[in-house]
């Protein structure tokens, strides 16, 4: 139920400027432009620009669209005013995550953003629940660029020649650039202040070029997905296919910002509420510091007294912390910060709280 591989509209341009392309969540996008560690540090200290063609959108229209989506997904959709958004999960009846979604309310529609390799799956699941509802669900050909870092807001304002209004996480507004309609979305992808700029494929080149023209003033580097991975691991941000999947409950992945406990029934709600009222889940996403320069592979086990108590999902050599770090699911009995164990390859490991890196300016991610 995955889509054909999407190729960034800027792929050939990126190659001509020295980028190395790679596959990421169903799309061919830049993996790196120069040195991923330098790209990472640019985002932490100044700003970075990402080609987010691995994100895909679809739209819900019709008079029942908000009421329909509200009763299916895990967060409150009906209360969204135009210009607001929310993070949510699409669950099965067992409360496990089929897809994670960012949902944005516009005046006459709901815009849904997810990974490119999840769009067809999510649309198909939602369509199965349409029974007499006045709802249409269709894909839209909209791409995104992400502006990330302490100077991201200034870079975006200079690129678009607009003054950004005060925006909370997932707030958004429509404007235009070079004759093309665009949408600005406040969203955190790295643990830093972040914005996505949605634009059609034909408008991407103009926005990218304008932003790169401002690079010296804002310390900006074009960045690839290798830097994005180390940034989001430092920030403790889970991703579908790594930390999230059809065997994961939202509470196991710490997705409190994807859940409403007051909205009433939705698919999987009974299981989520049962886990919350019980006060714990058996496994939970945690941060671990590995006392070895060797970065462990996803799936490597965590061992205490010869017993498996956890499994690594994502890992990197942290450019900011100068340590090897990882996200891992760990048994609840071993979640206290400072708890020590080993990887299956023998490296010493210590539990730490998430995120690894805290930024006052960055809101909760996803």
Window from 31-45, 183-197, 291-305, 352-366 with minimum mean pLDDT: 352-366
- Same domain, yes or no: 48 and 73: yes
Q: What is the CATH number for 87? A: 3.30.1360.120
- Same domain, yes or no: 98 and 155: yes
State the pLDDT confidence band at 2, using cuts at 50, 70 and 90: very low
- Same domain, yes or no: 149 and 263: yes
pLDDT at 358 over 90: no
pLDDT (tens digit per residue) in 127-183 = 999 999 999 999 999 999 999 999 999 999 999 999 999 999 999 999 999 999 999
- Same domain, yes or no: 90 and 207: yes
pLDDT at 365 over 80: no
- Same domain, yes or no: 318 and 245: no
Is 357 within the bounds of a domain? no
Question: CA Rg, the chain, in Å?
Answer: 20
pLDDT at 3 over 70: no
Please tell me the predicted confidence (pLDDT) of residue 126.
98
Is 185 within the bounds of a domain? yes
Please tell me the predicted confidence (pLDDT) of residue 360.
52
What percent of the chain stands above pLDDT 90?
95
- Same domain, yes or no: 66 and 197: yes
Give the Cβ contact number of residue 249 at 10 Å. 22
- Same domain, yes or no: 267 and 214: yes
pLDDT (tens digit per residue) in 218-262 = 999 999 999 999 999 999 999 999 999 999 999 999 999 999 999
Asked if 42 and 219 count as a contact pair (C-beta separation under 8 A), the reply is: yes
β partners of residue 225: none
Q: What is the CATH number for 305? A: 2.40.30.110
Summary mean pLDDT of the chain: 96
pLDDT (tens digit per residue) in 106-125 = 999 999 999 999 999 999 99
pLDDT at 354 over 90: yes
Identify the domain containing residue 324 by its residue range.
282-352
Is 130 within the bounds of a domain? yes
- Same domain, yes or no: 211 and 337: no
Domain count across the chain: 2
Give the domain-ending residue among 232, 248, 278.
278
Is 360 within the bounds of a domain? no
- Same domain, yes or no: 219 and 170: yes
pLDDT at 361 over 80: no
Give the domain-ending residue among 278, 309, 331.
278
Is 41 within the bounds of a domain? yes
- Same domain, yes or no: 178 and 218: yes
Give the domain-ending residue among 236, 251, 278.
278
pTM of the prediction? Answer: 0.95
Is 210 within the bounds of a domain? yes
Is 18 within the bounds of a domain? yes
Is 17 within the bounds of a domain? yes
pLDDT (tens digit per residue) in 187-198 = 999 999 999 999
- Same domain, yes or no: 130 and 153: yes
- Same domain, yes or no: 255 and 288: no
The tokens of 187 are what?
């969203």
The half-sphere exposure of 72 on its side-chain side, counting CA atoms within 13 A, is 22
């Amino acid at each position: 139920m995955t889509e054909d591989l999407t190729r960034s509209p800027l792929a050939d341009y990126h190659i001509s400027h020295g980028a190395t392309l790679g596959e990421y969540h169903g799309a061919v996008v830049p993996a790196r432009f120069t040195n991923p560690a330098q790209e990472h540090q640019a985002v932490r200290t100044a700003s970075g620009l990402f080609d987010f063609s691995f994100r895909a959108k679809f739209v819900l229209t019709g008079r029942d669209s908000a009421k329909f989506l509200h009763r299916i997904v895990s967060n409150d959709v009906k209360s969204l005013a135009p210009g607001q958004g929310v993070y949510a999960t699409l669950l099965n009846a067992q409360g496990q995550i089929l897809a994670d979604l960012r949902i944005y309310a516009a005046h006459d529609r709901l815009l849904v953003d997810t990974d490119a390799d999840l769009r067809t799956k999510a649309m198909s699941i939602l369509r199965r629940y349409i029974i007499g509802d006045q709802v249409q669900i269709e894909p839209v050909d909209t791409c995104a660029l992400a502006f990330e870092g302490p100077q991201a807001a200034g870079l975006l304002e200079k690129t678009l020649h607009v003054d950004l209004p005060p925006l909370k996480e997932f707030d958004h507004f429509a404007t235009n650039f070079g004759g093309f309609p665009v949408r600005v979305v406040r969203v955190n992808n790295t643990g830093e202040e972040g914005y996505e700029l949605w634009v059609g494929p034909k408008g991407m080149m103009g926005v990218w070029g304008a932003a790169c023209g401002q690079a010296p003033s804002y310390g900006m580097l074009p960045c690839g997905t290798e830097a994005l991975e180390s940034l989001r691991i430092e920030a403790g941000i889970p991703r579908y296919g790594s930390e999230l999947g059809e065997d994961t409950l939202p509470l196991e992945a710490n997705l409190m910002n994807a859940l409403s406990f007051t909205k009433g029934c939705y698919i999987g709600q009974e299981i989520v509420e049962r886990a919350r009222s019980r006060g714990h889940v058996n496994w939970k996403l945690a941060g671990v510091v590995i006392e070895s320069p060797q970065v462990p592979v996803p799936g490597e086990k965590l061992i205490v007294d010869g017993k498996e108590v956890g499994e690594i999902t994502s890992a990197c050599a942290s450019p900011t912390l100068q340590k090897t770090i990882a996200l891992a699911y760990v048994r609840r009995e071993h979640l206290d910060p400072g708890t020590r164990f080993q990887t299956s390859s023998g490296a010493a490991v210590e539990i730490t709280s998430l995120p690894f890196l805290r930024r006052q300016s960055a809101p909760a991610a996803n």
